Chain A
Amino acid sequence: MTEVSVREIFKSYGKVEALRGVSFEAERGELFGIIGPDGAGKSTLFRILTTLLVADSGSATVAGHDVVKEYNAIRACVGYMPGRFSLYQDLTVEENMEFFASVFGTTVEENYDLVADIYRQIEPFKKRKAGKLSGGMKQKLALSCAMIHRPRVLFLDEPTTGVDPVSRKEFWQMLGRLKEEGITIVVSTPYMDEASLCDRIALIMEGRFIGIDTPRGIVAQYGAPLYAVRADRRGGLLNDLRGMEELEACYAFGNEVHITAKQESAETERRVAEALAAKGYGDVEVRRIEPTVEDCFMKLSRR
């Protein structure tokens, strides 16, 4: 059953085109990820789906309701966590929870089991003002508030931005459990490593989806063999590699440079290593690697 359906959504702010024809569908109980850099149009899409903005053209339904005509019905059954921390900083953790529960006509006790995993971690600080929490705890509180009313569809706009790696992991574990409860989750993130934790992902770039598939499917589409290069000097490495004619793509990736060759050949590894050694690099290492979602993103975004 389709819980979220988006067709050819366009949205611009004056001359800036935020979304240029976006379509996707998410099934009930699916964890759908929208992956892309800042400014790609993720937040605009979330605001359209949560009925806060109206698209210039195109249509969308959430939980079977049209986002423009039946916005009241949608507002009653979705949970929304905006990208920016948006709770009352002068209220305590507990008061924020209670308030958002009552706004949705429920109580913290009623749905405690749903948020327990994450809320338990901030419960020791429940008398603390929300504004005095650390970044990770703020996000946990925001998420708890967004789902305290057991929403049918949960929209999380960059929930892990500014959260430490340990908390990020816990966050995703909890999303997995929510999914099992039958809650449909649409989540956006700029972190490519989180993409593999989603059921399906859409890669977004400059207001367009440049690929929608399972994380595995996206990676499988990569095609060309991918190599990671490292050497004792990093300065100049990227430029020197870009100067090699036989290479198609070169881009920095952490401490390494990822490259693909124009033509697949068993010689590529050796030739690149020799060329770099000739330029005076030491400890040159070139090895074949499996592409990640980020590599796919880099490749797709070049088109």
Chain B
Amino acid sequence: MRQRVKVQGGESAGRTGGKGVFAAFVKKEFRHVVRDKRTMLIVLAMPVVQIILFGFALSSEIRNVNVAVLAPHYDEQVRRIVERMDASEYFTVTGMLTSDKDVDMAFRDGSADMILAFGGGFDEVYTVEGTEIQLIADATNTNTATTMVMYATNIISNSLTDGQQEMKAGIVPDIRMLYNPQMKSSYGFVPGVMGLIIILICAMMTSVSIVREKEQGTMELLLVSPMRPIMIIISKMVPYLVLSFIDFLMIVLLSVTVLDVPMAGSFGALCVLALLYIIVALSLGLLISTKVESQMAAMLGSGMVLMVPSMFFSGMIFPVESMPLFFQWLSKILPPSWFITGVKKLMIEGLPAMYVAKETLILTVMAVVLIAASLKNFKYRLE
């Protein structure tokens, strides 16, 4: 931060709010932010905490799933599959069961999350007509169950094709997970966290800081000055724009270095998209600030109206495609949905910048509409 910006007050500066005024205002705004420990904590710690949390603790990936094997005859083929399973990082073979009755017990006492059951006499029965391998999974958590069954299927079919190249029986689907072959959940949530943190910092903090000026009466003083309302607004936005862009860079850096998320596409295009989204979020905060009178209301407004829908309906956690039509529409008017899609394309899929033209265009339109609406609503008097 610069020390002591000397403002040479010419006549024009006094009347229209020139560069000196703007600089003084931005400096003052930065002081507010830097001196408020809570704000600084939110701005600096939140991205790190969220990335660490989602990256290591709140992962939807499966790891160390306990598998019990039910095999009447422990022959060569069975051994091969079980070993391969045990060797993978996803599964741990915890026990061998001998009869059907043990299956229920294994689930109940928690010793198994999934059971791999082989038909009788695998080697012999494994003929052209096929044989049976049954996967029994604890589906209390549907997501986990689906994922572990899918992983197990992959392992089994791999070990079968490896072992018997000449075997042509049946159709074995060859599943390929494009862009995220290891099904890492961080690929999905990094764009989401980005979208969420930016909207939180920009919308919530801008609206709270503008409303704080109203509450403490300083807005009255600012209005009774030659400063134009639009200058007041823009200079209030600048520090939050800078802060959220720093946050964005922090998230990208952490994701790439710590979580091994790829930065497949153009970093420049990603920055442009992020800046655009930040402007949309700032104008949302501005719009909220013109509608509410207390910091509490601003907090609730940006929290409830922006955060919650952004989390649930932007595709960050739940797939939008499977929602009722109404929520699909809701998702389409939420800025984070478009930003998250754009980030996925640029960061994970590594598509060229032209593939996010639609997202960019929509965010631009949103920014223009929101800025126009908030300028129209900005009161240059007290009522």
Contacts and interface: CB of A to CB of B under 8 A. Distances in A.
Interface of A: 47, 50-54, 71-72, 75-76, 78, 80, 82, 84-91, 95, 98-107, 110, 145, 149
Interface in B24-78: 24-25, 28, 31-32, 35-36
B104 interface: no
Contacts of A76: 14-15, 225-226
A86 B221 contact: yes
B10 interface: yes
Nearest to A75: B224
Nearest to A151: B224
A90 B31 contact: yes
B24 A53 contact: no
11 contacts: A52-B223, A80-B221, A86-B221, A88-B216, A91-B28, A91-B32, A103-B21, A103-B24, A105-B21, A105-B226, A110-B9
Contacts of B18: 105
B382 A53 contact: yes
Given A103-B226, A106-B9, 17 more contacts: A52-B381, A71-B381, A75-B223, A75-B225, A76-B14, A76-B15, A82-B217, A82-B221, A86-B221, A91-B31, A102-B25, A103-B25, A103-B222, A105-B7, A105-B9, A106-B14, A110-B9
A132 to B, nearest CB: 13
A51 B222 CA distance: 12
B218 interface: yes
Contacts of A95: 28, 31
Given A86-B218, A105-B10, A105-B15, A78 B224 contact: yes
A86 B222 CA distance: 10
Contacts of B222: 103
Contact of B32 (A75, A88, A104, A105): A88
B227 interface: yes
B196 to A, nearest CB: 28
Q: Which of A50, A87, A102 counts the most B-chain CB atoms under 10 A from its CB? A: A102
B20 A102 contact: yes
Contact of A51 (B13, B24, B36, B381): B381
Contacts of A85: 217
B89 interface: no
Leading 5 A-B pairs by shortest Cβ distance: A105-B14, A86-B217, A102-B24, A105-B9, A105-B13
Interface of B: 5-11, 13-15, 17-18, 20-21, 24-25, 28, 31-32, 35-36, 216-218, 220-227, 380-383
Nearest to B7: A102
Nearest to A13: B383
Nearest to A94: B4
A102 B14 CA distance: 8
B256 to A, nearest CB: 36
A98 B4 CA distance: 9
A149 B221 CA distance: 13
B14 to A, nearest CB: 3
B310 to A, nearest CB: 30
A52 B24 contact: no
Contacts of B6: 107
B31 to A, nearest CB: 6
B216 A53 contact: no
Nearest to B6: A107
Contacts of A105: 7, 9-11, 13-15, 17-18, 20-21, 226
Contact of B36 (A78, A84, A90, A106): A90
Contacts of B8: 107
A110 B6 CA distance: 12
Q: Which of A50, A99, A105 counts the most B-chain CB atoms under 10 A from its CB? A: A105
A106 B25 CA distance: 14
B214 to A, nearest CB: 11
A237 B25 CA distance: 59
Contacts of B381: 51-54, 71
A145 B32 CA distance: 18
Nearest to B36: A90
Contacts of A50: 224
A52 B220 contact: yes
A106 B10 CA distance: 8
Given A53-B381, A90-B31, A80 B9 contact: no
Contacts of A90: 31-32, 35-36
Given A82-B217, A102-B7, A106-B14, A51 B25 contact: no
B221 A104 contact: no
A80 B20 contact: no
B9 to A, nearest CB: 4
B236 to A, nearest CB: 13
Contacts of B15: 76, 105
Nearest to A100: B221
Contacts of A87: 218, 221
Contacts of A54: 381
Contacts of B224: 50-52, 75, 78, 80
Nearest to A53: B382
A50 B25 CA distance: 22
A75 B17 CA distance: 12
Contacts of B21: 102-103, 105
A47 B380 CA distance: 13
Contact of B227 (A80, A86, A88, A103): A103
A162 B221 CA distance: 20
A192 B18 CA distance: 43
Contacts of B32: 88, 90-91
